[in-house]
Amino acid sequence: MASTDNKRRRTGLIFFPAFDWAISPTHPEREERLLYTQDQVFEEGLLDFDNISEFKPGLATVADIDRIHICVPEAKSVITESHLISAGGAITAAEKVLSGEVDNAFALVRPPGHHAMRVVHGARGFCNVNIEAIMVEYIRKHYGPKRIAIVDTDCHHGDGTQEIYWHDPNTLCISIHQDGRTLYPGSGFTDEFGGPNALGMTINIPLPPRTSDEGFLYVLEKVIMPILAEYKPDLVINSAGQDNHYTDPITNMRFSAQGYARLNEILAPDIAVLEGGYSIEKALPYVNVGIILAMAGLDYSAVREPDYHAEALRQSDQITRHIERTAAEVMQLWKKRREMKKPLVGSAGYVKRNKHIYYDTDGISEQQEETVRVCDDCGGLVMIDSFADTGRRVFAIIVPGQSCPVCRQEGEAFFARMEKGRHRHIYFQDRDRDIYIAK
């Protein structure tokens, strides 16, 4: 027993099931989603352990959202109270960890956020605002600059988080997910590797359908942990989707509650934030109990789904070999990340990329032209020209966190000169100075 007691950690749980909120009555993101998780967590008596404490979520503010998002036309029009609470729950988790009240924390909240990108015209992939990103920038604002790693373990590619931190050398985004050729949102391939100023700060590990515990734990040990060991983040955040489970109705993976618990034990995130996961009866109750026990350093070995059969869920040798190849490829890229900038950028001062973004939940289509200043001293000034088929066209100028003087000066100059013209609004966001202006 002594050895298990030594592993015990003080774990904070922020549980907010939003029992009165749904996207629509039969939508997967509905009132019932965390009902059985609540039942299981209560029945197992997890909140009675001395080292597990439950906290009420705080409410995030519009300023917390404006620190990271450009909401069109403004934050209040794209969110509801539920988003302020789920982002607030993530922030509370961070507060409890950073103040030292607990060793780690799990925000078991909804609605989720990892498909929400920097510019927000509406909801995509059930997400309106990115609750992890809101939390990360809150941490930086209140606890100083930090190197942060976000490991997205949701079955869907964490494309929103990736997009927000594409140019940020201080945020490492790692996503493991079902291969984008077989699942929404259709992205997250190994060659999506970060912007010119942050090469290697985005890592994608697509896994083939029917990957089981073995495959997930393989990439965790062979790719994610070595990269984290080298990057040495101040904080590790698990963007903890639970839809890799073998019973999930909208995905095709074979991960189990044991696998999820083991993953969290090895990854040892400082903060975990619930993302997707829609097998609300057969997976979530067991997966969440497993994650909470693992984070608290308590024995999770007896957690098991009633219908679990290891043999039936075993992945094929073909899948194993496929995963090994992907892992090797990612590690190759990671090792070469510093040599890639020159050939990619050449002597260009600015680099542009064009994006088409589809908001499946709200049925909105957006065209974006994003320009970043090539910079060796910071993440680089970012400018976005965004045009949605709602008829709204906006322009955003974003001075990154820990920006260099040149990027800031150029950003301020652009904003001063910019006339509204065809744009409904022009936004200026300065992370370091916590400034957000719309004109």
Partner 1 sequence: MILGIDVGGTHTDAVLIEGFKIRKKAKIPTDAAHLLNSLLRVATEILTGEDPKKLQRVVLSTTLSTNAIVQGKVERVGMVVAGGPGLSPALLPRIPHTFHITGYVNHRGVIAADIDQEEIKAVGEKLRREGIKHLGVVGKFSTRNPAQELRTAALLSDNFRHVSLGHRMSGHLNFRRRIDTTYLNSAVWESYQRFVNDVLQFVRSQGIEVPIYILKADGGTFDVAKSADSPVQTILSGPAASIMGILSMAKCDEDAVALDIGGTTTDIAVFADGVPLLENLGVTIEGHKTLIRGLRTRSIGLGGDSAVSYEEGRLHVGPRREGPAAALGGPCPTVTDAMIVLKRTAIGDGDLAVASLTPLAKQMGRSVAATAEIIFTEACGKIVAAVRSFIDEINNEPVYTIHEMLAGKIVAPKTLHVMGGPAAAMADALGEMLAYRPVIPQHSEVANAVGAALARTTAEITILADTERRLLTIGEEGVQMEIPSRYTAAQAIAVGAEKLREKALAMGAHPEDLEIEVVENQEFNMVRDMYMAGKNIRVKVQLKPGLISGFTRGQSL
SS3 256: coil
CB 59: neighbour CB atoms within 10 A?
A: 13
In the list 36, 193, 260, 359, the residue contacting partner 1 (rule: CB under 8 A) is 36
SS3 415: helix
C-alpha torsion angle, residues 165, 171, 176, 178 (rounded to 10): 0
CB 233: neighbour CB atoms within 10 A?
A: 18
Question: Which residue among the candidates 115, 121, 245, 322 is catalytic per the annotation?
Answer: 115
Burial of 334 (0-12, 13-18, 19+ CB in 10 A): middle
Q: Among all chains, which residue has been given the structure tokens 């600015």?
A: 350
Known catalytic membership, residue 115:
yes
In the list 8, 9, 23, 31, the residue contacting partner 1 (rule: CB under 8 A) is 31
Whether the Cβ atoms of residue 14 and residue 108 lie closer than 8 Å to each other? yes
Site membership for partner 1, residue 360 (CB under 8 A): no
Site membership for partner 1, residue 38 (CB under 8 A): yes
Residue 30 tokens read as: 């509905």
Candidate ranges 37-45, 64-72, 336-344, 396-404; the one touching partner 1 (CB under 8 A): 37-45
SS3 65: helix
In the list 7, 43, 348, 437, the residue contacting partner 1 (rule: CB under 8 A) is 43
Nearer to partner 1, 281 or 329 (CB): 281
Site membership for partner 1, residue 18 (CB under 8 A): yes
Site membership for partner 1, residue 2 (CB under 8 A): no
Spell out, one character per residue from 78 to 107, where the chain touches partner 1: x when CB under 8 A holds, - when not. Answer: ---xx--x----------------------
CA distances from 288 to 73, 225, 239, 292, 295 (A): 37, 22, 13, 6, 10
Spell out, one character per residue from 131 to 170, where the chain touches partner 1: x when CB under 8 A holds, - when not. Answer: ----------------------------------------
Rule CB under 8 A: which of 288-307 touch partner 1? 289, 293, 298-299, 301-306
Site membership for partner 1, residue 32 (CB under 8 A): yes
Candidate ranges 19-27, 188-196, 357-365, 392-400; the one touching partner 1 (CB under 8 A): 19-27
Site membership for partner 1, residue 56 (CB under 8 A): yes
The least CB distance from residue 360 to partner 1, in Å, is: 16
User: Which alpha helices (DSSP H) does 8-80 contain, by range?
Assistant: 35-44, 62-66, 75-78
The least CB distance from residue 412 to partner 1, in Å, is: 38
DSSP 186: -
Whether the Cβ atoms of residue 142 and residue 384 lie closer than 8 Å to each other? no
305 Cβ neighbours under 8 A, 6+ residues apart: 247, 256, 257, 282, 283, 286
Q: Which residues are catalytic?
A: 115
Task: Give the residues lining the site for partner 1 (CB under 8 A).
Answer: 1, 4, 14-21, 25-26, 30-32, 35-36, 38-40, 42-45, 48-49, 54-57, 59, 81-82, 85, 249, 281, 285-286, 289, 293, 298-299, 301-306
